[in-house]
Chains A and B, each alone.
Chain A
């Protein structure tokens, strides 16, 4: 632990299923002793640090059916767990229809990390700072989860349980992300506050989605990252604006509400009090920018 850079990976058995069925069966057979490897940028680090010592590593690389991305006008976007963060960052379709996702993707790690890391892996690591979570939550995205007992659909908002812990059972796999189309003409933004300009986890991240009708706030969704044990929907802040005129004094009130309803902790990156202040600043900015974009 003291010299993690000297560490090689601990030993494990490598399993390479070719179908979702095989993957789920392997997970069930080695319950609790297997870890799923998609991009590996979190898992391999945790293993080098001996924070994870799985007996089996299940590589998803050969499950070709998990590497897809589809869009249709009515159903919205859906993509599989092998889609990389870099793909989402650079896809012209996502930039146009779901810009909050490409913005968030661009802030995660380095290009080299984004070329490996997957969006679903970012969610499954379940860190409070997961950059891909707030955008997916304001978009109302859901996850298709496949296990030995069949499938279930879970909102990304309900996916996180605690830092590093999701609601996935040991024999379950996230097999699809479904992102509905946002309300017509909505604006959406992800803002991330870092100590450095790149290659850092967020001190605070805020995603906002705003849809206006005749100057009135028809739809507003706000999600805060690194502002509590899990990504947090700022419901009280949303209530301040919903159905009201979208103007500066209410935006300010909503930002203050978000700052009150979050519960950040102090860590080496920032104190809780500073994070709370930054939630207010970033929420105000994110709402303002999303409102400017909203048609």
Chain B
């Protein structure tokens, strides 16, 4: 069953005919070529596909694209604005908070979701916010520091 869907991705309205069985993750990557959102476990455990729906972090592998209509979808591609990296991205670079980089988009979006809700989180809140994001290079400490450092910046 296909439907004409309208999706607001990073502030731009996209329209396409999409099968209702497609997850938001599949649609972002395969229909719109936005490869920043990663497909890790595809079953809600790893956090690599974290995006924001109306400002809240969710797993794109567990959302039907059809149900994301009418909401604002933010992906890692929309973090930088006018060629300027987002403070979170700058902070990740400064702290060396990534190694292979596969978990990074999900980590950034989970952090963004946290800062939307709590602009000045402490370390326990930061650790809670990324509890569902797995990093196989085990860079959690630098990631936590990077998020704390970016917290509160515009």
B87 lies within 8 A of chain A by Cβ: no
A59 lies within 8 A of chain B by Cβ: yes
Report how far A57 CA is from B56 CA in the complex, Å.
24
Asked whether A116 lies within 8 Å of B62 as measured between CB atoms, the reply is: yes
Report how far A57 CA is from B65 CA in the complex, Å.
13
Which one of B74-82, B96-104, B126-134, B139-147 contacts A?
A: B126-134
Find B57's partner among A6, A90, A111 (CB 8 Å cutoff): A111
Given contacts A14-B64, A40-B67, contact A5 B44 (CB under 8 A): no
Tell me the smallest distance from the CB of B73 to a CB of chain A, in Å: 13
List residues of chain B with CB within 8 A of the CB of A14.
Answer: 1, 3, 20, 64, 66
Given contacts A110-B131, A111-B132, A116-B62, contact A13 B42 (CB under 8 A): no
Interface residues on B, range: 20 to 34
Closest to A16 in B: B66
Given contacts A37-B64, A40-B67, A59-B66, contact A111 B23 (CB under 8 A): no
Asked whether B131 lies within 8 Å of A115 as measured between CB atoms, the reply is: no
Find B62's partner among A6, A40, A111 (CB 8 Å cutoff): A40
List residues of chain B with CB within 8 A of the CB of A112.
Answer: 44, 47, 50, 57-59, 110, 113, 132
What is the total number of residues of chain A having a CB less than 8 Å from a CB of chain B?
A: 33
List residues of chain A with CB within 8 A of the CB of B1.
Answer: 11-14
B29 lies within 8 A of chain A by Cβ: no
B45 lies within 8 A of chain A by Cβ: yes
B21 lies within 8 A of chain A by Cβ: yes
Find A113's partner among B26, B44, B64, B117 (CB 8 Å cutoff): B44
List residues of chain A with CB within 8 A of the CB of B148.
Answer: none
List residues of chain A with CB within 8 A of the CB of B110.
Answer: 111-112
Report how far A14 CA is from B53 CA in the complex, Å.
20
Report how far A14 CA is from B66 CA in the complex, Å.
9
Tell me the smallest distance from the CB of A121 to a CB of chain B, in Å: 12
List residues of chain A with CB within 8 A of the CB of B151.
Answer: none
Asked whether A12 lies within 8 Å of B58 as measured between CB atoms, the reply is: no
List residues of chain B with CB within 8 A of the CB of A109.
Answer: 44, 132
Given contacts A41-B44, A112-B50, A112-B110, contact A86 B132 (CB under 8 A): no
Find B64's partner among A10, A40, A198 (CB 8 Å cutoff): A40
Asked whether B59 lies within 8 Å of A113 as measured between CB atoms, the reply is: yes
List residues of chain B with CB within 8 A of the CB of A97.
Answer: none
Tell me the smallest distance from the CB of A201 to a CB of chain B, in Å: 12
Interface residues in A1-17 (C-beta closer than 8 Å to B): 4-14, 16
Closest to A197 in B: B131
B9 lies within 8 A of chain A by Cβ: no
Write the B7-18 contact mask toward A (1 if CB under 8 angstroms, else 0).
000000000000
Find A9's partner among B23, B45, B114 (CB 8 Å cutoff): B23
Report how far A197 CA is from B22 CA in the complex, Å.
32
Closest to B21 in A: A9
List residues of chain A with CB within 8 A of the CB of B22.
Answer: 8-9
Asked whether B113 lies within 8 Å of A111 as measured between CB atoms, the reply is: yes
Tell me the smallest distance from the CB of A132 to a CB of chain B, in Å: 17
Query: Which of B20, B50, B117 has its CB near the most chain A CB atoms (within 10 A)?
Result: B20
Closest to B45 in A: A199
List residues of chain B with CB within 8 A of the CB of A41.
Answer: 44, 59, 62
Tell me the smallest distance from the CB of A167 to a CB of chain B, in Å: 27
Given contacts A86-B56, A112-B47, A115-B57, contact A45 B62 (CB under 8 A): yes
A61 lies within 8 A of chain B by Cβ: yes
Tell me the smallest distance from the CB of A21 to a CB of chain B, in Å: 21
Closest to B66 in A: A14
Report how far A286 CA is from B58 CA in the complex, Å.
32
List residues of chain B with CB within 8 A of the CB of A5.
Answer: 41-43
List residues of chain A with CB within 8 A of the CB of B50.
Answer: 112
Asked whether B132 lies within 8 Å of A116 as measured between CB atoms, the reply is: no
Report how far A12 CA is from B20 CA in the complex, Å.
8
Report how far A11 CA is from B64 CA in the complex, Å.
12
Report how far A10 CA is from B44 CA in the complex, Å.
17
Report how far A23 CA is from B114 CA in the complex, Å.
34
What are 6 contact pairs spanning A and B, CB under 8 A?
Answer: A8-B26, A11-B19, A13-B1, A45-B62, A48-B43, A112-B58
